[in-house]
Each structure stands twice: as structure tokens, then as C-alpha cells.
């Protein structure tokens, strides 16, 4: 057989098109406000911590709202056969071939291509992805051990090729350095806060004379679509009047994605050597493209690191009087180099937390790793009427699961790689905390909003925080955390811990009416579901824990020059108030 798909894309996405201004803190914001109101803005003072702006180059595109267009396809061909070796043993084997197609090529940036060649990067903006076939052989078996369907062993081994999210591909068509201009500047001087999104060019014009503002996205020369090798083994059996299913699945990464920023390189020194904090040996970096227009060069590469293990057990029981029961448990471990949580190349690199080289990140837990999941359901069906044409169904569904995985990061750029938010926290011991230096800061806990501050410094504390007070707060925060307290003197592993265990209940009601049309049975069903009914009954029940993909900025900040800051605020990892809400839905289904 064959399965073929063809796509045409036009990605209208211009990041920071309205201008983005970040202040380092409230003090910098207040200073800007006061100087602005007084008409005394200092052109030599850095009011902003960061300014970002993106725009389409109308001179090139002819359209200020330019969309990155490209066309692609994927051809699939497959063959499969089944061999009944014995009446109880079946072997299924097959082969699938996928051919990715790209009908367009990103624009050539001659200046960048020449520069990349001199640097030996082996990339070009106009590199067209290969249409090399990707092969996926597979084999599976099913063995009815006693040939009575009481004990069935099944399994398989095969390669699976995925369809890549094409938005990752679109980045390379948009960010060639020709059609788009991006400005991302830290501590800029001489810029004004412009509220009108249509007048951001006033600031952009001031930055055009400076270099190092462009973002370039490129493919690795031999980039391939994602592929996984999967092995599964399952056992279906009956015992104690219950139907049991046990499954084990192992998936090994063959080709997955990760990103590099080619514009940075290691200096050969470590953070510990730079600051005297010898226990933290993360490598330091420097930008190697200074004096050029290329501040960020994000390359999309392949890795074969990563795996997932799933172990599950399910029990089902069906009663003749209309009751169906089910319960299952699943244990998962999922490891990856980059979880690909963003649609933007820069974000996929910048927010992939690591304590090593961000261009060579360690294998860590996936952002989607949920170690424990419990599911259970009970449905009761009752039929009535002269021909049982009416049927009422009532169901209760439970799902318990580990909360979202999370990681603690340092706020600030500890390793000078140009990214704020990708430096994993080193969990210091008390002795190491005593050697650390802290920048002055203040806190307002007059209403006891922050439990950690109340616990350490007493009720209603407000005012300056001394170095010793910050040390005491940091020690207590680490001691109170179940993960950090067990891993002092280590780096926080990426997504190694999960938030609180979640409990969710849903209820299902359905009314069905069956009737004959032309000798065939048709049915009309009206259903009503209450999702997360616990939250309907009590606002403190049914909470979902997590925020996005579990990535948390640490309240433990790095200010630069060997100085830290810890004010004891924002340390609580709270529940998601939006996704914790109960919801109701009505359904209507006609079956014929």
C-alpha cells in the first residue's frame, strides 16, 4: 500500500513584532518613569535589561506582514504479510519506507554562507533537506499458548518514523537573515519605551548601526526526520475471573532533534574558576561572532540519545447485570536531550536547561515524563423498554498521576552563553552557602504572604535582607524541599522531580434510544460529562499541578560578579488555577 501527504505552509509569525522591553527590577522601572516624567532621560544609562524587536524587511518581502512560505510532502510505501506458523502462533512482518519531500529551498544569504564556510560550521541558509528514504522494518508475533485464548503472549520489534512538526522547518525559511530582522539587545542605552507598536522602528533604527543583532536558523547537513526503535512485550491472561493485561514497551531514540547556537564557544574556564565557587564547574562561554551581524546562529541537529520505558498492568471485569470495572497502573521513565517544547528554534535552545555545554546537553528526564499514573473506571448500563430500546449509562472515571515534571533554574546568565533561563541550579550545602556572597535586596512580608520568610524571619518582616538573612532563607528553602534536601552538593537534574500527585474524577451520564430504519438498528444518544467533578464540589480538590512544561525560574538569582540574591519569595510551586477548574460538556451522537 501507499500513504502520501502533501502540505503547503505560510507561517505568519514575527516574534516581538510589537517590541518587548524588560526591566531588571522595579527600581529600574521607577527610575525610567521618574526621569521620563522629568524630561531628564540619560542616553548613557541602561534603563532596560533587555530589548527585543522583530520585523519583516519590506524592501525584500514587499509585505510588512510577510509569511514564510514553503511546500513539503511525505511519501509512504508499505508491505506486510502474516504467517500462521501453527494454529496458535502468528508472525506478522513488514517493511515501510518514508520519503520526505521539500519543494522549496530557503533563501541564500551569501554573506552568512561565506562566513560560515570560513568558520568551518558546514551549514548554509539555503540548504535543502534530503529526500533520502527512511526505512522502517517491523516484526510482531502472537502466541495463544494453550490455544484457548486464556493465556496470550504477544510482542514486536520495529522502527517507526515520525512526521516532524513543520513549524521547526519553517524557522529556517523565515530566519535566513534576509527577509526578517531581529534585535535582541541586553542593557541597551539610548532607547525609549515606545508604546505604539507601529513606531518600534524608531528604536530599531538606533540599533542598525550596531552589529550582532541578526538571528540565523540553519539545518545540519545530514538532518533526518525523527525515528524510534520500539520493542514491546505483552501478556493477556484470565485469573480470578478477571481479564488481565500486562505490557512492557521500550523505545530507543534513533534520530531526535536538538539545537546548537554556533555563535558561542567554550572559553576553557569554568564558573568556579571565574568566581572562586570551586564546587560549580559549569563551563563558561563567549560569543565568537562579535563584529558581525550574526548574534545567534541556531542549528537543527540530530541525536541518538534518549529512551522511554513503559510498564503497565490493567485489570477488567464485566458483569452480566451491566457493570463494567477497570483499573490500571503505568510506570514511565522518559529520557531525552531536548524535549522540543517550543515552536521557535531560539526557545528550543535557550530554554533547554543544562549544567553542561548547551550545545551538547546531557541526557535528562523529558519534560513529558510522568512516572506514575493510575486509572480506574466503573460504568453501569441498564436497558429497559419492551425491546430494551432505551439504555441509560452512568460512569465514574478516576485518574491519579504524578504532577508535572519541573526543574529549578538560576535566574541570570551564569555561564555567559547569552541565555537567561537555561542554567540549572547547583544545590549548595550549608558550608558552601556560608562562602557565597549576596547582593543587597529588600522584601515586603507585612501581610505574611511568603511562608518561608515568616518561618525564618518571623511574622510581618519587611525591609532590607542582609547576607546572613539571605543565607538562612536559602538553607531553609533547600532543607524543606524533598528533592533538593537529598541532592545537596549536586546539580538539579533536568525534570528529575515532579510536583504533587494529582487526583481527578469525572462522571458520565448517557441516555440512548435505539430504533430500526430499513431493517438496520440506528441509535440516538445524548450525553453529559462533568470533568474534574471534585473541583465542582470543593475548590481545593482536583488541582492540576504545573505551569506549562514545568520549567521554573528559581527565586535564587545570580546577579553577576559572583553575587547571588535570594529574597525567599516565589518559592511555592502552586497549582494551575485554569486547568484545575471543573468543566461540563454535552454531546449528541447518532449511529447508523
The pLDDT tens digits for 174-199 are 999 999 887 778 788 888 888 888 88
Residue 28 pLDDT more than 60?
A: yes
Q: Look-up: residue for cell 574558576?
A: 273
Partners of 299 in beta bridges = 218, 260
C-alpha cell at position 62 = 514587499
| Residue 475, phi-psi category: left (phi > 0), alpha (psi -120 to 50), beta (remainder) | alpha
Determine the 3-state secondary structure of 238 from DSSP: strand
Determine the 3-state secondary structure of 485 from DSSP: helix
Residue 412: the pLDDT is: 87
Determine the 3-state secondary structure of 455 from DSSP: helix
Residue 63: the pLDDT is: 84
Looking at per-residue confidence, does 448 or 373 come out higher?
373
C-alpha cell at position 16 = 516581538
Mean pLDDT of 131-157: 96
Residue 53: the pLDDT is: 86
For residues 483 and 398, what is the distance between their CA atoms, to the nearest angstrom? Answer: 28
Residue 190: the pLDDT is: 84
The pLDDT-based confidence of 204 (bands split at 50, 70, 90) is: confident
For residues 319 and 442, what is the distance between their CA atoms, to the nearest angstrom? Answer: 65
Residue 126: the pLDDT is: 96
Among residues 392, 400, 350, the alpha carbon closest in space to that of 500 is found at 400
Instruction: Give pLDDT tens digits for 267-292.
Output: 999 999 999 999 999 999 999 998 88
Mean pLDDT of 312-323: 97
Domain range spanning residue 515? 375-592
Sign of the C-alpha dihedral computed for residues 27, 29, 35 and 38 taken in this order = negative
Would you say 223 and 132 are in contact if contact means Cβ atoms under 8 Å apart?
A: no
| Residue 534, phi-psi category: left (phi > 0), alpha (psi -120 to 50), beta (remainder) | alpha
**166 Cβ contact partners less than 8 Å away, ≥ 6 residues apart:** 7, 9, 72
Residue 553: the pLDDT is: 67
Mean pLDDT of 352-360: 95
Among residues 419, 442, 362, the alpha carbon closest in space to that of 553 is found at 419
For residues 394 and 390, what is the distance between their CA atoms, to the nearest angstrom? Answer: 14
Please indicate, yes or no, if residue 500 is contained in any of the structural domains.
Answer: yes
Please indicate, yes or no, if residue 510 is contained in any of the structural domains.
Answer: yes
Would you say 165 and 11 are in contact if contact means Cβ atoms under 8 Å apart?
A: no
For residues 348 and 337, what is the distance between their CA atoms, to the nearest angstrom? Answer: 11
Residue 462: the pLDDT is: 93
Residue 211 pLDDT more than 90?
A: no
Partners of 90 in beta bridges = 84, 142
Determine the 3-state secondary structure of 205 from DSSP: helix
Determine the 3-state secondary structure of 337 from DSSP: coil
Percent of the chain with pLDDT over 70: 98
**123 Cβ contact partners less than 8 Å away, ≥ 6 residues apart:** 116, 218, 219, 220, 221, 262, 297, 299
Residue 550: the pLDDT is: 63
Q: What is the mean pLDDT of the chain?
A: 92
The number of folded domains in the chain is 1
Radius of gyration of the chain from its Cα atoms, rounded to whole angstroms: 29
Residue 547 pLDDT more than 70?
A: no
Sign of the C-alpha dihedral computed for residues 203, 208, 210 and 214 taken in this order = positive
Among residues 423, 444, 433, the alpha carbon closest in space to that of 560 is found at 423
Residue 577: the pLDDT is: 82
Determine the 3-state secondary structure of 100 from DSSP: strand
Instruction: Give pLDDT tens digits for 8-20.
Output: 999 888 888 888 9
Please indicate, yes or no, if residue 18 is contained in any of the structural domains.
Answer: no
Mean pLDDT of 538-556: 80
Would you say 286 and 297 are in contact if contact means Cβ atoms under 8 Å apart?
A: no
Whole-angstrom CA distances from 309 to 66, 242, 312, 365 are 43, 26, 10, 12
Please indicate, yes or no, if residue 280 is contained in any of the structural domains.
Answer: no
Residue 213 pLDDT more than 90?
A: no
Residue 212 pLDDT more than 70?
A: no
Please indicate, yes or no, if residue 444 is contained in any of the structural domains.
Answer: yes
Q: Look-up: residue for cell 499514573?
A: 373
Mean pLDDT of 98-127: 96
Instruction: Please give the span between the terminal C-alpha atoms of the chain, in angstroms, as a whole number.
Output: 29
Residue 548: the pLDDT is: 59
Instruction: Give pLDDT tens digits for 393-446.
Output: 999 999 999 999 999 999 889 999 988 889 999 999 999 999 999 999 999 999
For residues 258 and 356, what is the distance between their CA atoms, to the nearest angstrom? Answer: 14
CA 477 centroid distance within chain: 26
Q: Look-up: residue for cell 541518538?
A: 304
Mean pLDDT of 541-552: 76
Instruction: Give pLDDT tens digits for 57-110.
Output: 888 888 878 888 999 999 999 999 999 999 999 999 999 999 999 999 999 999
Residue 100: the pLDDT is: 94
Per-residue H/E/C for 277-333: CCCCCCEEEEECCCCCCEEEEEEEEEECCCEEEEEEEEEEEECCCCEEEEEEEEEEE
Percent of the chain with pLDDT over 90: 77
Mean pLDDT of 450-454: 93
Please indicate, yes or no, if residue 231 is contained in any of the structural domains.
Answer: no
C-alpha cell at position 30 = 521607577
Please indicate, yes or no, if residue 508 is contained in any of the structural domains.
Answer: yes
Would you say 164 and 275 are in contact if contact means Cβ atoms under 8 Å apart?
A: no
Q: Which of 49-63, 315-329, 353-367, 486-500 has the lowest mean pLDDT?
A: 49-63
Supply φ then ψ for residue 184, to 5 degrees: -140, 100
C-alpha cell at position 486 = 537529598
For residues 377 and 328, what is the distance between their CA atoms, to the nearest angstrom? Answer: 9
The pLDDT-based confidence of 356 (bands split at 50, 70, 90) is: very high
Whole-angstrom CA distances from 421 to 414, 484, 488 are 10, 19, 21
Please indicate, yes or no, if residue 538 is contained in any of the structural domains.
Answer: yes
For residues 359 and 318, what is the distance between their CA atoms, to the nearest angstrom? Answer: 54
The pLDDT-based confidence of 164 (bands split at 50, 70, 90) is: confident
CA 535 centroid distance within chain: 26
Supply φ then ψ for residue 33, to 5 degrees: -60, -45
Residue 551: the pLDDT is: 66
Residue 210: the pLDDT is: 54
Determine the 3-state secondary structure of 341 from DSSP: coil
Amino acid at each position: 500500500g501507499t500513504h502520501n501527504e502533501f502540505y503547503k505552509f505560510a507561517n505568519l509569525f514575527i516574534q516581538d513584532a510589537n517590541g518587548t522591553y524588560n526591566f531588571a527590577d522595579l527600581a529600574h522601572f521607577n527610575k525610567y518613569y521618574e526621569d521620563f516624567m522629568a524630561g531628564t532621560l540619560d542616553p548613557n544609562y541602561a534603563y532596560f535589561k533587555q530589548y527585543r524587536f522583530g520585523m519583516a524587511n519590506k524592501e525584500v518581502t514587499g509585505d510588512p506582514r510577510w509569511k514564510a512560505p514553503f511546500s513539503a510532502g511525505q511519501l509512504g510505501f508499505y508491505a506486510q504479510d502474516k504467517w500462521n506458523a501453527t494454529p496458535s502462533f502468528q508472525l506478522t512482518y513488514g517493511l515501510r519506507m518514508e520519503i520526505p519531500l521539500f519543494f522549496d529551498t530557503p533563501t541564500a544569504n551569501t554573506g552568512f554562507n561565506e562566513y560560515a564556510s570560513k568558520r568551518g560550521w558546514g551549514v548554509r541558509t539555503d540548504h535543502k533537506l534530503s529526500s533520502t528514504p527512511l526505512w522502517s522494518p517491523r516484526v510482531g508475533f502472537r502466541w495463544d499458548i494453550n490455544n484457548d485464548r486464556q493465556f496470550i503472549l504477544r510482542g514486536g520489534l520495529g522502527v517507526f518514523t515520525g512526521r516532524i512538526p513543520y513549524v521547526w522547518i519553517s524557522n529556517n525559511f523565515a530566519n535566513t537573515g534576509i527577509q526578517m530582522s531581529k534585535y535582541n539587545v541586553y542593557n541597551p542605552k539610548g532607547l525609549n519605551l515606545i508604546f505604539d507598536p507601529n513606531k518600534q522602528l524608531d528604536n530599531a533604527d538606533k540599533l542598525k548601526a550596531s552589529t550582532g543583532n541578526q538571528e540565523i536558523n540553519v539545518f545540519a547537513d545530514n538532518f533526518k526526520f525523527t525515528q524510534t526503535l520500539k520493542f514491546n512485550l505483552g501478556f493477556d491472561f484470565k485469573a480470578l475471573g478477571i481479564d488481565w493485561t500486562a505490557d512492557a514497551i521500550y523505545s530507543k531514540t534513533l534520530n531526535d532533534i536538538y539545537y546548537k547556537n554556533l555563535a558561542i564557544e567554550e572559553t576553557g574556564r569554568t564558573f568556579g574558576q571565574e568566581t572562586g565557587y570551586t564546587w560549580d564547574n559549569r563551563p563558561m562561554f563567549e560569543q565568537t561572532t562579535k563584529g558581525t551581524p550574526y548574534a545567534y546562529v541556531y542549528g537543527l541537529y540530530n541525536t541518538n540519545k534518549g529512551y522511554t520505558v513503559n510498564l503497565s498492568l490493567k485489570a477488567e471485569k464485566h458483569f452480566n447485570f451491566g457493570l463494567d470495572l477497570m483499573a490500571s497502573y503505568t510506570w514511565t521513565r522518559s529520557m531525552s536531550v531536548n524535549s522540543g517544547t517550543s515552536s521557535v528554534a531560539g526557545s528550543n535552545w535557550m530554554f533547554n536547561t543544562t549544567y553542561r555545554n548547551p550545545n551538547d546537553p546531557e541526557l535528562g528526564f523529558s519534560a513529558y515524563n510522568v512516572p506514575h499514573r493510575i486509572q480506574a473506571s466503573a460504568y453501569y448500563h441498564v436497558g429497559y423498554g419492551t425491546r430494551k430500546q432505551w439504555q441509560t449509562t452512568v460512569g465514574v472515571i478516576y485518574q491519579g498521576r504524578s504532577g508535572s515534571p519541573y526543574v529549578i533554574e538560576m535566574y541570570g546568565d551564569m555561564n555567559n552563553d547569552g541565555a537567561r533561563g537555561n542554567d540549572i541550579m547547583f544545590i549548595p550545602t550549608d558550608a558552601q552557602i556560608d562562602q557565597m556572597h549576596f547582593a543587597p535586596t529588600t522584601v515586603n512580608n507585612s501581610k505574611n504572604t511568603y511562608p518561608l520568610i515568616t518561618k525564618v524571619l518571623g511574622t510581618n518582616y519587611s525591609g532590607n535582607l542582609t547576607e546572613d538573612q539571605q543565607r538562612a532563607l536559602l538553607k531553609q528553602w533547600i532543607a524543606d524541599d524533598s528533592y533538593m534536601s537529598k541532592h545537596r552538593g549536586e546539580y538539579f537534574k533536568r525534570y528529575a522531580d515532579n510536583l504533587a500527585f494529582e487526583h481527578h474524577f469525572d462522571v458520565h451520564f448517557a441516555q440512548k434510544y435505539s430504533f430500526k430504519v430499513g431493517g438496520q438498528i440506528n441509535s440516538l444518544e445524548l450525553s453529559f460529562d462533568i470533568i474534574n467533578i471534585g473541583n465542582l464540589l470543593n475548590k481545593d480538590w482536583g488541582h492540576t499541578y504545573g505551569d506549562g512544561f514545568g520549567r521554573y525560574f528559581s527565586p535564587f538569582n545570580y546577579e553577576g560578579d559572583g553575587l547571588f540574591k535570594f529574597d525567599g519569595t516565589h518559592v511555592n510551586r502552586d497549582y494551575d488555577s485554569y486547568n484545575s477548574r471543573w468543566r461540563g460538556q454535552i454531546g449528541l451522537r447518532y449511529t447508523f
